[in-house]
A and B are shown apart, each in its own frame.
Chain A
């Protein structure tokens, strides 16, 4: 029995998924808090020392795919670190985990 063209397309796309590697995937980030629980520094993956947050440049929130099994709820921050680096980090509110990611 011949498959419906749509099924064929979906199958081909699924096969393609194996060869697709997402660009700009989030990377885990460790945050440092002070005695009051306020976040004051970040420790990026592969770095020897943490960095202090000098200021927060921007802040936004994404609520998406709430109709799916794994909804996305993220709070993004654009942080200026004490060495002058601009870092975009987000807090995954569902997992309570931090990640860094380019905009």
Chain B
């Protein structure tokens, strides 16, 4: 096999959150693993490994029923931070194989590589496969599919076994997809898939046999897209991740942090580090991502998008404090490690307050300060200067301070 007519490679990692845990604990490979809900979520099985499935565990099963069914099952909590971190490192590694890599959603676990033109680099798809496998840890059990389009490549990857490369050349796409279940058309709503089966359309081939206009009329734009994909149309491009500048810093604590004050002190330090970074000179920040590894072994992640771009450390601190002060604003367990990332960097011009709005807001702030001073001292010790007799030859007659009535 040299280089068949393929344009997209799909690297699919089944049950990515569980495989990430296996990567952390290689001894768990081959053991029944069950992913439960995060604290505060329903106590049901979100995901389970094939070994757990063999024991009768299924997604949606209440967690309390897992142990009677499978006593040796290892029940895990979602760890979005580690999963995102592994996906990020995969993306970086795969970008050395192909310059255009489309990142996957964490729950999907599929990454797409645009492999057009790579035959001049690798010569044979086997070499390409070796390069991909070298970039992805074997414990993640990556499955690789090559095809002319993203849907066919993803389907090929899903149909392959771990360690196997499934290639579907352009001319074979139709024949490859036709016998497969319409349930693979995940771009359609579950209700639409039910309707297809009610209509007796069980395979992709059944759908393809219908005229395009009829499918579009019945199922709208998603139906039209499904029909095109089922036909082997491969006009959906691989959308490479845009390179965005981010500034990040992290801290590790000997004593896990539990209180808002301690977390804010740590955030202060991280903000000082990040806002002092040379690449942030004269720029503003639109988003802040906080990631924490918790003392109970789980992780926590929040992405905060601010209403207006912030260009100072103090403004970012105030905005973050208001978020952390909200109910459930803090992680559910003390923090062992905390990382802060500034995203959505823009120019200073991105923050442009209105000329009169700012002045009105200033008066409102002064009025509030005066109210608090009156409550505290019984009077308002605020004054402003007024011209009294500016024409006077006697200096002390020209200006005076008058009590500020706000």
Contact check, B395 vs A64: say whether CB atoms are below 8 A apart: no
Considering the complex, give the chain B residue whose CB is closest to the CB of A62.
Answer: B393
Min distance, Cβ A71 to any Cβ of chain B, angstroms: 12
B residues whose Cβ falls under 8 Å from a Cβ of A: 383, 385, 388, 393-403
Whether B393 and A23, one on each chain, are in contact in the complex, defined by CB atoms closer than 8 angstroms, is: no
Q: Give the distance in Å from the alpha carbon of A25 to the alpha carbon of B400 in the complex.
A: 10
Q: Is the CB of B394 within 8 A of A72?
A: yes
Q: Which residues of B contact A14 (CB under 8 A)?
A: none
Q: Does A26 contact B (CB under 8 A)?
A: yes
Candidates A19, A24, A26, A64; contact of B403 at CB < 8 Å: A19
Q: Is the CB of B402 within 8 A of A20?
A: yes
A103 touches B395 (CB 8 A): yes
- Closest A residue to B400 by CB, please name it: A20
Compute how far the CA of A72 lies from the CA of B395 in the bound complex, rounded to whole angstroms. 12
A23→B394 contact, CB < 8 A: no
**Number of A-B contacts defined by CB within 8 Å:** 39
- The yes or no answer to A4 lying at the interface (CB within 8 A) is no
From the candidates A16, A24, A64, name the one contacting B396 in the complex (CB within 8 A): A24
What count of chain A residues pass the 8 Å CB interface test? 15
Report the minimum CB–CB distance from A18 to chain B (whole Å): 9
Which residues of B sit under 8 angstroms from A22, Cβ to Cβ?
A: 388, 396-397, 399-401
A100 to B393 alpha-carbon distance, docked (Å) = 16
* A64:B393 contact, CB within 8 angstroms: yes
Q: Does A57 contact B (CB under 8 A)?
A: no
Which listed residue (A24, A64, A72, A103) contacts B399, Cβ 8 A? Answer: A24
- Enumerate chain B residues within 8 angstroms of A101, measured Cβ to Cβ: 395-396
Q: How far is the CB of A26 from chain B (nearest CB, A)?
A: 6
Known: A20-B401, A26-B396. 5 other contacts (CB 8 A): A20-B388, A23-B385, A62-B393, A64-B393, A102-B395
| A21 neighbours in B (Cβ, 8 Å) | 383, 400-402
Q: What are the nearest 3 A-B pairs in CB distance?
A: A23-B399, A21-B401, A19-B403
Closest beta carbon of chain A to B52's beta carbon, Å: 79
Across the interface, which residues of A come within 8 angstroms of B388, CB to CB?
20, 22
- With a cutoff of 8 Å between Cβ atoms, the chain B residues found around residue A16 in the complex are 402
A72-B396 Cα distance, complex, nearest whole Å: 12
Find chain A residues with CB under 8 A from B393 CB. 62, 64
Highest count of chain B CB atoms <10 Å: which of A20, A26, A102? A20
Chain A residues whose C-beta falls within 8 Å of the C-beta of B397 in the assembled complex: 22
